Structure 1
Amino acid sequence: MSDDLSYELLGFDNVLLPVGDLGEAADFYRRAGFTVALRFDEAGIVLLKAGDETPGILLRREEALGHRPPPWPSPRVWLEVPDARAAARRLAGAGVEPLDPPFSTATGWTVEIADPWGNVLGFTDYLKRPALARRQGAGAAAPSG
């Protein structure tokens, strides 16, 4: 491949998710633990922070999009958390019901939620492989269950 045709992937910019209503979406994602970094109604976008990283989750209004269950299979966006089972309890306490109970993975645990428009987000931890976590040893002392 010639130099003028090659490119290099440098990392994520943003993950875009379609939503039908910006206010409802911002409220849902706040309850799910996200921080709204920017809301620009005129452009039809809300930017959610994902940890300390600059890229985020960009909610983009699609006016014709109504509530729907998540299609299966569907793309998933997973975010790292210190303890996915604790995240599941916090989500349920905030009225955001997980799709299923937390499930075991090779590195730890994961719990998934779906927003009202069928976008699926997962919260995953590295309790079984703390050396791979963003914060080394994060949650390593957490009790297993």
Structure 2
Amino acid sequence: MSAQGPYEVLGFDNVLLPVGDLGEAVGFYERAGFPVAFRLDEAGIALLRAGAETPGLLLRAEEGFGRRPPPWPTARVWLEVPDARAAAGALRAAGVAPLDEPFSVATGWTVEFADPWGNVVGLTDYSRRPELGRTVAG
């Protein structure tokens, strides 16, 4: 037992995103710049890489899961990128519409986009606080 509670959280495993169609979801996220680590159609899952880390975004096909147009209250997953404003341009060029223009946050900039099933992913940078980010050369 740790001082924090009855167990110790070691880090993230995967973030699961429910989708209505695995093939369509994989195509959408590939356009958004996420490479596929593996895909198991028989299990209805595909893991997308998130940088060099082992955990990733796990797409899971859910029967009858329909599309949701924005806006909606939902949990958001934010991932670090070197430059969120450049990422917004790359998303647009790939046909993935950001939810809004990049916006300022305490550490830098963030841009969010949503998949057809309403999952919101944010791409955020540490341009104002590079000492806190992964992109620091060291």
TM-score range, shorter chain: over 0.9
Equivalence for 2:25: 25
Misfit runs of 4+, over 4 Å: none
Equivalence for 1:65: 65
* 1:135 Cα offset (Å): 2.0
Any unmatched runs of 5+ in structure 1? 138-145
Equivalence for 1:84: 84
Cα distance in structure 1, aligned partners of 2:78 and 2:20? 22
Any unmatched runs of 5+ in structure 2? none
* 1:66 Cα offset (Å): 1.6
Matched positions, count: 136
Equivalence for 2:44: 44
Paired letter, 1:33? G
Classify the secondary structure of the residue corresponding to 1:54: strand
Paired letter, 1:35? P
Cα distance in structure 1, aligned partners of 2:131 and 2:90? 25
Q: Is contact 1:126–1:132 with CA below 8 Å preserved after alignment?
A: yes
* Identical positions, percent: 73
Paired letter, 1:129? R
Length-normalised TM-score, structure 1: 0.89
Paired letter, 1:118? G
Give the greater-gyration-radius structure (CA). 1
Length-normalised TM-score, structure 2: 0.93
